[in-house]
Each structure stands twice: as structure tokens, then as C-alpha cells.
Amino acid sequence: MVGMSMQPYGIQSMLKEGYRHLSGLDEAVIKNIEACKELSTITRTSLGPNGMNKMVINHLDKLFVTSDAGTIVNELEIQHPAAKLLVLAAKAQQEEIGDGANLVISFAGELLQNAEELIRMGLHPSEIISGYTKAINKTVEILEQLVESGSQTMDVRNKDEVISRMRAAVASKQFGQEEIICSLVADACIQVCPKNPTNFNVDNVRVAKLLGGGLHNSCIVRGMVMKSDAVGSIKRMEKAKVAVFAGGVDTNATETKGTVLIHSAEQLENYAKTEEAKVEELIKAVAESGAKVIVSGGSIGEMALHFCERYKIMVLKISSKFELRRFCRTAGAVAHLKLSRPSPDDLGYVDSISVEEIGGVTVTIARNEEGGNSISTVVLRGSTDSILDDLERAVDDGVNTYKAMCRDSRIVPGAAATEIELAQRLKEYANAEIGLDKYAISKYAESFEFVPKTLADNSGLNAMEIIAALYTGHGSGNAKLGIDLEEGACKDVSETKVWDLFATKLFALKYASDAACTVLRVDQIIMAKPAGGPRRDAAAAAGAGAEED
Amino acid sequence: MSVRVLNPNAEVLNKSAALHMTINAAKGLQDVLKSNLGPKGTIKMLVGGSGDIKLTKDGNTLLKEMQIQNPTAIMIARTAVAQDDISGDGTTSTVIFIGELMKQSERCIDEGMHPRVLVDGFEIAKRATLLFLENFKTPVVMGDEADKEILKMVARTTLRTKLYEGLADQLTDIVVNSVLCIRKPEEAIDLFMVEIMHMRHKFDVDTRLVEGLVLDHGSRHPDMKRRAENCHILTCNVSLEYEKSEINAGFFYSNAEQREAMVTAERRSVDERVKKIIELKKKVCGENDNFVIINQKGIDPPSLDLLAREGIVALRRAKRRNMERLVLACGGEAVNSVDDLTPESLGWAGLVYEHVLGEEKYTFVEQVRNPNSCTILIKGPNDHTIAQIKDAVRDGLRSVKNTIEDECVVLGAGAFEVAARQHLINEVKKTVQGRAQLGVEAFANALLVVPKTLAENAGLDTQDVIISLTSEHDKGNVVGLNLMDGEPIDPQLAGIFDNYSVKRQLINAGPVIASQLLLVDEVIRAGRNMRKPTA
């Protein structure tokens, strides 16, 4: 009974075995900050046009070569809870704007790193949080003042204006090729832009990746590109009406199981005949309505196909429901559930629909030049799958930027000009502040310096010189002085034409500070025992090895 | 030992060992939850088995998510969760109050007191405190027009302990307005009539109150309208899809025409139902009117197609609760059969529209007349933010409901606890005979744990705070603690009010469970080792 008096004390004794409990500054806060710092050092080198690519191999052994932070953090499968908060913030940014995920993670990492210094100085996390909150509110205020005048309104159908806003976003993913990609994306987006630009739907710009050729062979198709062949032998149709059937092209069947009742051989023959006649009647009705192309969402019966061939109707099969809906939008058709005679209003129209072979892949291209410009496809060409994937991400970012500018067309100077201006003005604000918040606000301002620093570092320039030059320029009143990475000098962004969208910056900064404050607010972590399941250590180790590149 | 004789594997803790184990467990749990209390409390991060993150300041959530194994701790946790079930708030206070009672008792017991005497003292003190609470509470008149300011103050006090200030203040209005929206005279408030819907979108401060309903699904037909104004709404529970017969049936046919006939016959009954609805639509809808069907059962693609062609928006498989809410929000009545459809059974909404977020679809039913149901639409950039707001909103709603039902509030910011303690020490203790006095004293000191912890979490000096508060009370001023500067404030002026029922439950449940734990003198566990769980 000696041991009985030494009862375990504290929380650990109360939890189930396998649980971990971390609390206090050293154990929880500092550790969390360190994890977030690690994460941001990984993504940081990918920031900006000269950012490095990462090679990530995920748990399915799929290889990614990209500088897109959203993809990197997604595939890394972060385990650490605090770092995960940053990843979630980046994901939110990705969903909301579609660009700027790297800024979120890197900036949050920088904020936390500076917070750590403050904690070591003796500040309490809650004081840092209150300072950071003040700082972000002030930042939003300043950011609004930095908006380039005249950018509030834009013509979303003017290609030059669109490209000027899109370039920076695309260039950070595919530097040197941004002109080609921007032009493609801008064309595609402008084409599908609805009357009310705020209703622009990202889904209407499709990307078809076809191996072979190079970026220069890429083009825009006004319509859809499907990676499939036509079903019948008719492979080409011009200026054709289209009938769409969602439920398949075959004889009608009952829901309840049916049995054919046959008493004699004669009846059997008759049955086959009536069946045939029925199908012919249906197909004939379709043909008479003027349709020359049938698109089916389900199976296509042998017999039906036969009659389609006879009536010179081209048959396509699109089994994905969403793809079928998109096709309906392209052609302006109304999908029928069952095979029946379509009314003239329900028929769609395409300029041409043809099966072509590009780079060894058979594709069906449906073009609709005049009528409904509701879908456009960017056909990307590239030599390897990973290049294509990366191009696709650049295009996606471009399209998302277009969507964002349709909603809010305001722009701010890019190339770190905004960041330096923010840093400078926040510092002034911090100096005017009394109380402990002052330190946190000035650290927040300092955090902005990481953007020019990283941009310069990634381009092999001397970061310190650049930052000093930027500060001098901004101090003398030139709020638009940014880095020209090609010449390695400071230049006015209205010359280099590097603009960022206001909305991207705003959301990125807000999400980043939100995430940083959340990490700082946590002072205790209670971790459950990880649930069972297959171990993925091998894949994780491979991924960790790749990060070091 | 006797139990050992009966079962050699049983483990026994007796007398002081048992007592100390329970006391230690109670203190341990108190330590964990202590930092949660009050607006200056910190956040805990819970990481689930699959790596999912939850951030919380809510004692109830924490106790539920933490898998506690220690038997004493489980008992306390259950009491606290019961507290939450009954009054919706005060979980953290319950746990720390029990912990403090045990701590105070430990001191007395170490000095040689018998637990029984302490328990007697607790009982006396409890009754006295409850009596004191009755005199101390501030009555609020809840007539037909509720006093919105008081409700807001109560809601704000609760919300600020769960979320950061800016967001809490914003939610205060939302919570109060939503409860007033569903409040009907002469009826108990059913908080389920406030739908809480969340969207992963934008920022937490974009959370808003929708007067009407938000459904988390959309119409399933591509040709249906995404936005409709002046809508007649049919709330129904009618199956509009083909259903297989119960018995095993089959069709027999001998040529394709017969089969075609059967295909149509099979669908006839469903089609007829749809036609009846369409007829009603034609009857009630004018030029600019729209018709919306919200069905609890399914609608199959052919029916959807028919409805879409008539310009009717149809939503299928709505939640059962939403059917109730819809009727309250839009008027009309829920229909179970299409045979006796009348225009009177239709509800009305000014605007129905669909909002698409990535893969998710939401349907908003807004601009309704005289709503008796509403939706709190929570927005946030990620799941843990949403979950945090959700828990807070739930507690906020409860606190408003409690206030309306209690028709009174209690001054917060520790004012009640200090006042009750002074009352016990100065008045009650003198009337008690014998050693039970010490029990009363322990109880009184335990009450102080609330202002103490509040001060501790705000980074103030506990002793200074207690001294200044008690001396103010002795002068006859009822004061609470200002967490900003540690000075006494008048909670009435600062607008800090707690729920009466929460406090009552706290005073009731705390001593009961503490007494039970104190009277434990033997812990027996058969078979397994108590200290190190078997691997």
C-alpha cells in the first residue's frame, strides 16, 4: 500500500493513454511558432516570379513540380496542428480568390517569427495579439489609400486592361511565359464573361491538356474539347443542330422488371420487328426535327446507333453529368431525359463538331463561334505531364484573378512597392501609439519587409541594398517604387506595369494575420492518440527529402 | 484487507488515500479548465485522432472532447455537462467551483476535520446562498415587449467569454434578435426554430442573421431558376418519385408498343401528383409571381423536368426540422397530400435564391412576412472558426432564452460571488452552531474562486483584487471586477449580467457533488490497475 499515497497528479493522469497535453509558453506557443516558421521557410523560396520550384511526391507517389504554394502545402499533408492552421488559411485564400496562398503562409510565418522575438522580450501573447489586430485594421485602411486612382472601374472586356491586372499573378507561376498565357486566358475569359461580370463563373473556362508541342502551340477553342471519340462512324458535322438526351439513347424500359411473353417463333420474330420499328420511329423523329448530332448521357444501344448511322446522325457520348451540362451550355440545348422527338426550342446549335487527333490523343472539338459564348477552352500543349500541370495551375490562377477583378477591379502597386509603403506608414503609426501595442505594431510593419527581401533573394540580388533603396524612395514620397527584378534595381511600377489586385492582397493579409493571431491565442494543446490506419512514413520521408532541394 | 480476500485482483484505496485521490483529481481538472474562464481566458487547441483541429474556450466542448479516464474527474465532468444541458452555460465555473470546494476541504481535513462535518456545513451554506441569491437577483420585466437592452447585456456577457470582443459584440445583436423573432406569447421558446447554418466563406465577421431560412441544398435541375422573386411557397411531404411496389411485381408484354404503354402507365400516378401542383401554380401565380416547392421526400428527374418546364423551382429532401421552420417563417402549412391543395396552404417569400460555393449549394428564402423562425448564417474561413462560433451562438441563444424565462438576472463580473461570500462570513456563520461553521467558511471561500480566476487570467494580482473587492462590499457597495485595470466596477453600469438559472444550478450542483466526493472513503476497482492503465 506504499504506492497508493503517490497518486499521479495533474491532467496527464486523467486522460486516456496516448493523449498528449502541451501547455504554457515554452511548450505550446513557442513550439507552434517554430512549426509555422518551418512551413513558411519551405514555401517562401517559391514566392515571386523568380521563385524556385518544389518537387513534391505525395502519398500516392504522384510527382508535382511546382512553385504554387497552394499545391505544395496540400500535398505535404501537414500533421502539426499549428502549421495546419496556416494551411487552412491558405486554403481559404485559395477558395476565395484562387491566388496569393504563398503570401498568406509566408506572411503568417513572418508575423509569428517576429512574435517569437517579442515573447522572448517578455511581451505576453495577448498583448501581441491586440497589437497585431490594431495593425491589420490600420493596414486595411492604408491599403485602401494605396489603390491606384482610376482603377475602380474597368472594362472587363478590354484585353489590355485585363492583362495588366493578371500579369503579376501569372508571372509568379510561369515567369517569362506570362505574356503568352495571359493573352490566352484573357481571351478565354472575356469571351465567356456574362453581361453582368460579377456572375462570371470560373467553371466556364476549361483547360484541356494535350501532351506534345510546346506552349506556343496552345490555343483557344470557343466551345469544348472532350477527350473522347465519336461513337459512330460519322466524325464530322458542320453547322449542325444538336439534340441532347441525358438518359441514354435506347429503347424505353420500365422501372419494374419486364418480361417478354412469347408463345411461338413467329411472335419472337414479330417482337424483334416491333422493337426495331419503335427505335426507328424515335430516331426518325429526332432526325426530322432537324438534329444532326445526338449527344447521349448514358448508354447507346446498338440498334439505335444503327439507325442513327442510317439517318446520318453523328452520335457522341458524354457520361459525366457535369460535362453534359457544360455541353448543353455550349450548344444552348435543353437536355431531354428520354429519347423522344425534341421541340425546336430544345435543340442546340454548333458551328462545327469534329473528331481530331492532336498529339496522339483523339479529341472531339465542338465549336460555337457565333451563338452562345458560354464556354471556352484553353488547349495547353507541353512536353511533359508535370509541365502541363503547372501550366494549368497558372491558367487557373489567371482565371481566378479575372473572376476577382470582375468583382473588385481595384489595383495596388505590385513588386513589393505596396509592402514597403505599408511598412513605412505602419511604423509611423506605431511610433504615435502609446503603450505596449507599439512594439507589436512595429514588428508587424517589419514583417512586410520579407516580401522585397524574398523577391530579391530569389532573384539573387542583394536584399539589404534593395530594401534600403526602396525605403529611401518611399521616404521621399514615391509610393509606387518597386523592384525591377530583371534589372535588379528599383523602378516605378507604373513603368514596369506590375500591379496586384487589391482584393488578393486584402484577403491574403487578413487571413494571414487571422491565422497568426489564432496560433498565438492557443496556450494549451490536447492531442488525441492518432487514429489507426496504414502508416505512410515511407511516402512522408520521400516528401521530406524532396523539400530540401 | 477484506476486499482482497474476496477478490485478490481488486485494488483498493481507502481512507485518506481515497480522499486524496479524489481531491487531486478535482484540483487537476480545475487546473485545466481554469484558464478558460472569463473574457480574458485563453484558447485550447484540441487535436482529434485524425488530426482534425478544434479550438475552444468553452468548458463544455472541452470536457466532451477530452476523453477523461479518472473516475472522480468523470463525475465532475458529468455534473458540468449536466449544467450545460440544463442552463446552457457555466460549465467552467462549475468545474472550478467544485475543484475549489475540494481544495478548501483538503485544508480542513488535513487539520483533522471529519468530512461529515464539512458536508453539513456545505449544506447550510448552500441553502443560505440560494436564499441570498433570491434577494440579490435583479428582476427584469418580460412583457410583450422584451427589454432588449438587458437581453443584449446578458448575451454579450456570455458571448464575450467564448469569442473575442469584436465578434462577440456583433453576434450579440444577432442572437438577441433571433430569439425575439421566434418568441411567441404564451409559449415556451423552442430554440430549434432558429436554424444555424454555416458557410465556409469570407471572414467570421460576415456572420449574419437571415430573416427567413437558409437550406443547405439547391434545386437539382439545371433549368430551374437560380433567383426568384415574389414566391409562393409550397411546403410538402409528398413523394414525387416512382416507388417500387412492396410486392414483387413484373410486367409481361409481347411487343414494343405494349411496353411503351406500360412505361407511361407506370409513371401515371406520379405524373398526376405533379400535375395537381402545376394546376395550383397556374391558379395562384400571376405574371410576376413564382412558385417554389420544398419537399421533404424525393422528386425524381422526370418530375423535376415537368416542374422545370412550368418554371417552378423545386427542392427535394429537405430536413424535417426545416419543414417546421419553413411554415413558421413563410406562413402557410405543410401539406401531406396533393389531393386537397388550396392557395391558403401556400406560404410567401419575397426572394428565393441559390448561392453556390464550390461544390456546395445553398438556397436562401428571404424577405418573408412576419417570420417566426430565422437563420443565423455563420461564416468563417475555416472549419475550426465556424465550430467555435457555433458553440458560442448556441450558448448565447440559451442565455437569452434563460433570461426571458427567469425574468431576472444576476450581476456578473464576480459581484455575486463576493457578495455571497461576505454574507456567509458576516451573517450566516455566526448563526451556525459548532464545527459546521468551518464548513460554511470553506464554502464561502470557495465562492471566491470565480473572481480570483478572472483576475488571474487577466494577469492581475489575485490577492489585491480580492482585498479591494471584499472591502468595497463591506462598505455596502456591490461591485464586480474590471478586467482591464483590476479596479472594482459597478456591473450594473458596465452591463455585465449573468443568468439567474446558471448561478442557481451552479450553487445547487457544486456542493452536492463535492459532498459526495468528500464522503467517499474507499475506492475499489476490480481487476485493473488504477495508476498505470494497462497497455
Q: What is the pLDDT of residues B430-474, one digit of tens each?
A: 787 777 788 888 888 888 888 888 888 777 788 888 888 888 888
Tally of residues, chain B: 535
Percent of chain A predicted with pLDDT > 90: 0
pLDDT above 60 for A546: no
Residue A406 has pLDDT above 60, yes or no: yes
Answer positive or negative: Cα dihedral of A458, A463, A466, A467: positive
pLDDT band of residue A371 (cuts 50, 70, 90) is: low
pLDDT in tens, A85-101: 888 888 888 877 777 78
Look at residue A262 in the predicted model and tell me its pLDDT.
Answer: 79
| Mean local confidence (pLDDT), A454-460 | 82
Averaged over A333-347, what is the pLDDT? 80
> What mean pLDDT is predicted for residues A486-511?
80
pLDDT at residue A436 greater than cutoff 50: yes
So what's the pLDDT on residue B529?
52
Which residue is catalytic, options B92, B94, B172, B470?
B92
Among candidate residues B204, B395, B406, B498, the one labeled active-site is B395
User: Given its phi and psi angles, is residue B439 left (phi above 0), alpha (psi -120 to 50 degrees) or beta?
Assistant: alpha
Q: B282 and B314 in contact (C-beta within 8 Å)?
A: no
Asked whether the predicted pLDDT for residue A467 surpasses 50, the reply is yes
pLDDT score of A213 more than 80: no
Range with the largest mean pLDDT of A65-69, B183-187, B349-353: B349-353
| SS3 category, A262 | coil
Q: What is the pLDDT of residues A246-293, one digit of tens each?
A: 877 777 766 777 777 778 888 888 888 888 888 888 888 888 888 888
Dihedral angle at the C-alpha atoms of B71, B73, B78, B79, nearest 10 degrees? 120
Chain B residues within an 8 Å CB radius of A251: 256, 259
The verdict on a CB contact (< 8 Å) between A84 and B53 is yes
B459 contacts in chain A (CB < 8 Å): 124, 126
Backbone angles phi, psi at A84, to 5 degrees: -65, -35
In this structure, is the dihedral angle defined by the CA atoms of residues A384, A390, A391 and A396, taken in order, positive or negative? positive
Rounded CA separation B42/B197 (Å)? 26
Cβ pairs A/B, distance under 8 A: 189
- Give pLDDT, residue A1: 34
Distance between CA B260 and CA B267 in Å, rounded?
Answer: 11
Encode pLDDT of B109-144 as tens digits: 888 778 888 888 888 888 888 888 888 888 777 666
Residues of A in contact with B384 (CB under 8 A): 85, 88
Q: Do B254 and A252 touch (CB under 8 A)?
A: no
Cell of B24: 487531486
Cβ distance A5 to B17 less than 8 Å, yes or no, reads yes
Annotated catalytic, B56?
Answer: no
pLDDT of residue A123: 79
Count, residues in chain A: 549
Helix, coil or strand: residue A407: helix
Band of residue A446 on the pLDDT scale cut at 50, 70, 90: confident
Q: Is B58 a catalytic residue?
A: yes
The per-residue pLDDT for A5 is 35
Rounded mean pLDDT, A298-325: 85
Region of poorest pLDDT, from B28-32, B47-51, B152-156, B287-291 = B47-51
Please state the rounded mean pLDDT for residues A331-357: 81
Q: What's the pLDDT at A545?
A: 40
Q: Which residues of B touch A270 (CB under 8 A)?
A: 254-255
Helix (H/G/I), strand (E/B), else coil: A51: coil
pLDDT digits (tens, 9 = 90+) for B257-302: 787 788 788 788 888 888 888 888 888 887 788 888 888 888 888 8
Q: Do A335 and B49 touch (CB under 8 A)?
A: no
For an interface test with A, which of B57, B254, B257, B304 has the most A Cβ atoms less than 10 Å from its Cβ? B254
Name the E strands within B26-110. Answer: 43-47, 53-56
Check if the beta carbon of residue A237 is closer than 8 Å to that of residue A316.
Answer: no
CB-based contacts of B347-350 (< 8 A; 24+ apart in sequence): B347/B232, B347/B233, B347/B234, B347/B235, B348/B231, B348/B232, B348/B233, B349/B212, B349/B231, B349/B233, B349/B292, B350/B229, B350/B230, B350/B231
Indicate the pLDDT class of residue B50, thresholds 50, 70 and 90.
confident
Report ipTM for this prediction. 0.73
pLDDT grade for A542, boundaries at 50, 70 and 90: very low
Return the top range by mean pLDDT from A484-498, A527-541, B159-173.
B159-173
Q: B45–A92: do the CB atoms touch at under 8 Å?
A: no
Average pLDDT over chain A reads 79
Quick one: pLDDT at residue B141?
Answer: 72
Q: What is the pTM of this model?
A: 0.78
Choose, from B56, B91, B207, B453, the residue flagged as catalytic: B91
pLDDT digits (tens, 9 = 90+) for B146-163: 677 788 888 888 888 888
Which of B45, B47, B301 has the CB atom closest to A337's CB atom? B301
Cβ contact B330:B211 at 8 Å: no
Q: Mean pLDDT for chain B?
A: 80
pLDDT the model gives residue A530: 67
Whether B342 sits among the annotated catalytic residues: the reply is: no
